[in-house]
Amino acid sequence: MDRNTFTGLFLIMIVLAGSFYFFKPSEAEMKKENERIAADSIKKATANSTATPAAATVAAIPAVDSAALKGPFGGNIAGTVQTSVLENENLKLTLTNKGGKILSAEVKGQKTYAGKPVILFDGDQNKFGLNLNIGGKIVSTNDLYFTASKNGNSINMRANYSGDKYIEYVYDLKPNSNKVGFNINLNGLNQVIQNNTITLNWEATLLEQEKSGKKEQEHSAPYYKYADENPNHLSVAKDEKEELKEGKIEWFSFKQHFFSAVLIPTVPFDKGDLEVKVSTQLGQIKWYGANMQLTFNQLAAQNYSMEFYFGTNKFSTLKAQGHELEKQVDMGYWPLKYINRFIVLPVFNFLEGFGWRYGLIILVLTILLKVAMSPLTYKSYLSMAKMRILKPEMDEIKAKVGDDNPTLLQQEYLKLYKQVGVNPLGGCLPMLLQLPFVMAFFFFFPNLFELRGESFLWMKDLSTYDDFIKFGVDIPILGNHLSLMCILMTISTLIYTYFNNQISGATGQMKYIGYIMPIIFLGVLNSYPSGLNYYYFLANMLTFAQQFMIKSMVDDEKIHRTLQENKTKPVAEKKKSRFSAKLEDYMRQQQQAQIQQKKNK
């Protein structure tokens, strides 16, 4: 320790010792404080003995400065925590008089992966209320003790400023509904609230509901929607805070994988901000925070009308709520989301109407898709068969031209294709047309609420992975388990690749690339829903069956004769496409450059 550091620490110790000596309370003050603590203890014991079951006492706040009790909402700064319940067939809401807020929201009829009730948020770490500028100081209603009164399906929470000046929250829950009516009434506060805006603050820690907390985090983010625009969201992967632009904010939501908490104002918010933080606490997914600006018109009686939605992210359920809430369900990027929304989802819902198990629905859905795509599959197979039959002639051309002039070799190949009437891309184009459907399911199944908790064969939940083999420790790439359905999907892909190479006659690097990709996907898809891997497995097996059927219909000798006959026919002059013209021009330039390079040597 150097001399300056020692001197600094010595001076700090002197200051601390002096403050303890000069600011210690007198004997009279200590006696008065002990008497107050004793009186509070007696009061608390009396309150506990007389508490009714409908209003459970949770805790009493510490002593409050007497000056604060005489300030704004002085009569509501101190109190005891009491709870009330609003309940219908879909929701169970626990409200607390501390802040006059919803303390916890339970979605009835739903269970977590561990078998417990689905509670979206719970506990004192969740905040909700208004931040008011009164006398130059910010007063948060989240810290006030409201007086609760229940009337049927409604609960009123009121905090009195003084006399007939008060804040009132009204919560209304209709039967068979996931929406909660919420009204804010400010009465007589136009004389005390400064500025023309009020901030609505909502903070919540969303609790883990699914088997994989990591995957649940990847599908959870705050969403928001401007009027006349599509919904948008913050990052799903990292902490982020976003200032929402001034305008009409139609709604915002605290969305997690399969459940959402949404706040929809009758009059859109002027502006605000949203924030998300990834939680590292066990049992928690993410922390969300929102601050929305409400216009305060300095009226004697000011009202703000809103609605909460607490419920599932089932597409049809969200759509029934209006305001395009269903667009929170991630259906993929363009054009994948249109394929999922207007083709795949309607077919899935139609099949669901038969009351089948979801494993059977996925099977029938895959069969229908394969039947619809069978013409493209046939054309792809036929084109690859032609390329395979031409392989000996292409090898002869390669032997004559050699490997020294790849441009000339490609030109000779193109001449051969033109003579026999073969399109070298004929096998790729049909596969490319099918690719958007294959990729669309990559988003469809992981975000499909209907699969949640549904079992099939050994798979206990089609919305998450089946950990058939548990390692007990994390292994790089694979994680702590191995999915049996993912293994079957990988094996079926390898078999499909093998027979596909036989059909196309692929050699060299192209032959082995097809075997590498399934191994990579084993690591990628091992933690994805078993329903997705089940679909890919079925798709591989059905494609494999299709190829066997097509193979029995295709005569290689007949194709060979047709190709040879085409050589004898005159090639009709056709207008070249822009792509073909540019390709030939590029090859010609490359050939001239190679010739010039040889001359310069």
Distance between CA atoms of residues 465 and 482, nearest Å: 9
pLDDT at 596: 66
Average pLDDT, the chain: 83
- 């009308």: which residue's tokens? 305
Q: Under CATH, which architecture does the 49-329 domain have?
A: Distorted Sandwich (2.70)
pLDDT tens, position by position, 82-111: 999 999 999 999 999 999 999 999 999 999
User: Comparing C-alpha atoms, which of 288, 133, 294 is closest to residue 207?
Assistant: 288
H or E element in which residue 87 lies: strand 83-87
pLDDT tens, position by position, 113-143: 999 999 999 988 899 999 999 888 899 999 9
% the chain with pLDDT above 70: 81
- Between the alpha carbon of residue 535 and those of residues 104, 202, 334, 371, 458, the distances in Å are 37, 40, 22, 15, 15
pLDDT at 502: 72
- The band of 507, judged by pLDDT with boundaries at 50, 70 and 90, is low
Degrees, nearest 5: CA angle 302-305-311: 155
Query: Which ranges in the chain are annotated with CATH 2.70.98.90?
Result: 49-329
pLDDT at 398: 82
In the DSSP assignment, the letter for residue 431 is: H
Q: Where are the alpha helices (DSSP H) in 23-139?
A: 27-50, 66-69
Single-letter residue type at 282: L
pLDDT at 504: 61
- 């014991």: which residue's tokens? 45
- Dihedral sign, Cα of residue 259, residue 263, residue 268, residue 270: negative
pLDDT at 70: 56
- The band of 246, judged by pLDDT with boundaries at 50, 70 and 90, is confident
pLDDT at 45: 41
Strand partners, 505: none
